[in-house]
Protein backbone atom coordinates (compact mmCIF):
# COMPACT_ATOMS: atom_id res chain seq x y z
CA UNK A 1 0.00 0.00 0.00
CA UNK A 2 1.40 3.39 -0.94
CA UNK A 3 1.92 6.35 1.39
CA UNK A 4 -1.11 8.26 0.09
CA UNK A 5 -3.46 5.37 0.82
CA UNK A 6 -1.98 4.88 4.32
CA UNK A 7 -2.62 8.55 5.04
CA UNK A 8 -6.19 8.28 3.72
CA UNK A 9 -6.83 5.31 6.02
CA UNK A 10 -5.50 7.23 9.02
CA UNK A 11 -7.68 10.25 8.19
CA UNK A 12 -10.74 8.01 7.75
CA UNK A 13 -10.04 6.32 11.10
CA UNK A 14 -9.96 9.70 12.85
CA UNK A 15 -13.26 10.76 11.27
CA UNK A 16 -14.82 7.42 12.18
CA UNK A 17 -13.61 7.96 15.76
CA UNK A 18 -15.50 11.28 15.75
CA UNK A 19 -18.66 9.46 14.64
CA UNK A 20 -18.24 6.78 17.31
CA UNK A 21 -17.54 9.41 19.99
CA UNK A 22 -20.98 10.80 19.12
CA UNK A 23 -22.71 7.41 19.27
CA UNK A 24 -23.03 7.17 15.49
CA UNK A 25 -22.39 3.47 15.19
CA UNK A 26 -23.70 2.78 11.70
CA UNK A 27 -21.84 4.61 8.98
CA UNK A 28 -21.05 4.41 5.31
CA UNK A 29 -17.45 4.94 4.29
CA UNK A 30 -16.41 5.64 0.71
CA UNK A 31 -12.89 6.03 -0.64
CA UNK A 32 -12.25 7.47 -4.08
CA UNK A 33 -8.62 7.22 -5.18
CA UNK A 34 -7.90 8.98 -8.46
CA UNK A 35 -4.73 10.14 -10.15
CA UNK A 36 -5.14 13.67 -8.78
CA UNK A 37 -6.98 13.37 -5.46
CA UNK A 38 -7.94 10.97 -2.72
CA UNK A 39 -11.40 11.58 -1.31
CA UNK A 40 -13.06 10.09 1.75
CA UNK A 41 -16.77 10.39 2.46
CA UNK A 42 -18.28 9.16 5.71
CA UNK A 43 -21.95 9.46 6.57
CA UNK A 44 -24.17 8.23 9.36
CA UNK A 45 -27.48 8.83 11.05
CA UNK A 46 -27.83 10.71 14.32
CA UNK A 47 -31.00 12.18 15.83
CA UNK A 48 -29.23 15.35 16.99
CA UNK A 49 -26.52 17.52 15.50
CA UNK A 50 -23.27 17.02 17.47
CA UNK A 51 -22.58 20.04 19.67
CA UNK A 52 -18.99 20.38 18.45
CA UNK A 53 -19.75 19.95 14.74
CA UNK A 54 -19.10 23.61 13.90
CA UNK A 55 -15.75 23.42 15.69
CA UNK A 56 -14.84 20.32 13.67
CA UNK A 57 -15.95 21.97 10.41
CA UNK A 58 -13.84 25.07 11.11
CA UNK A 59 -10.78 23.02 12.05
CA UNK A 60 -11.05 20.89 8.90
CA UNK A 61 -10.91 24.06 6.82
CA UNK A 62 -7.72 25.38 8.47
CA UNK A 63 -5.68 24.44 5.40
CA UNK A 64 -3.33 21.66 4.55
CA UNK A 65 0.31 21.87 5.53
CA UNK A 66 1.97 19.36 3.19
CA UNK A 67 5.44 19.97 4.56
CA UNK A 68 4.25 18.50 7.87
CA UNK A 69 2.20 15.55 6.53
CA UNK A 70 4.43 12.84 8.00
CA UNK A 71 4.60 14.51 11.40
CA UNK A 72 0.81 14.99 11.58
CA UNK A 73 0.23 11.47 10.28
CA UNK A 74 2.20 10.11 13.25
CA UNK A 75 0.26 12.29 15.71
CA UNK A 76 -3.26 11.46 14.47
CA UNK A 77 -5.17 9.31 16.89
CA UNK A 78 -2.76 9.85 19.76
CA UNK A 79 -3.95 13.12 21.25
CA UNK A 80 -6.94 15.02 22.52
CA UNK A 81 -10.14 15.29 20.50
CA UNK A 82 -9.85 19.01 19.79
CA UNK A 83 -6.21 18.81 18.77
CA UNK A 84 -7.13 15.92 16.44
CA UNK A 85 -9.56 18.22 14.61
CA UNK A 86 -6.74 20.62 13.76
CA UNK A 87 -4.38 17.80 12.78
CA UNK A 88 -7.02 16.55 10.35
CA UNK A 89 -7.43 20.05 8.93
CA UNK A 90 -3.70 20.28 8.33
CA UNK A 91 -3.83 17.04 6.32
CA UNK A 92 -6.71 17.77 3.93
CA UNK A 93 -7.08 20.19 1.06
CA UNK A 94 -10.88 20.36 0.93
CA UNK A 95 -13.46 19.56 3.61
CA UNK A 96 -17.23 19.56 3.50
CA UNK A 97 -19.34 18.97 6.60
CA UNK A 98 -23.12 18.66 6.28
CA UNK A 99 -25.90 17.81 8.70
CA UNK A 100 -29.30 17.47 7.00
CA UNK A 101 -32.29 15.95 8.76
CA UNK A 102 -30.63 13.17 10.70
CA UNK A 103 -27.70 12.52 8.34
CA UNK A 104 -24.19 13.69 9.12
CA UNK A 105 -21.80 13.63 6.15
CA UNK A 106 -18.13 14.52 6.19
CA UNK A 107 -16.17 14.56 2.95
CA UNK A 108 -12.48 15.37 2.83
CA UNK A 109 -10.01 15.23 -0.02
CA UNK A 110 -6.29 15.50 -0.47
CA UNK A 111 -4.46 16.36 -3.63
CA UNK A 112 -2.05 13.57 -4.40
CA UNK A 113 1.59 14.46 -4.01
CA UNK A 114 3.62 14.67 -7.17
CA UNK A 115 5.85 11.70 -7.74
Distance CA 4, CA 104 (A): 25
73, containing H or E segment: helix 69-75
pTM over 0.85? The answer is no
Which CATH number is 92's domain given? 3.30.565
Number of separate domains in the chain? 1
List the chain pLDDT tens, one digit each, 115 residues: 788 888 899 889 989 999 999 999 999 999 999 989 999 999 999 999 999 999 999 988 877 665 555 545 555 555 545 456 777 888 889 999 999 999 999 999 998 875 4
Distance CA 101, CA 47 (A): 8
Distance CA 99, CA 112 (A): 28
Domain that residue 9 falls in: 3-111
Amino acid sequence: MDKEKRQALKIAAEIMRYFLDHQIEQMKVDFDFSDRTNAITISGETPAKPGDLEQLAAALKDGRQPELDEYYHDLLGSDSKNQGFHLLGAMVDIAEVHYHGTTLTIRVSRNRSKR
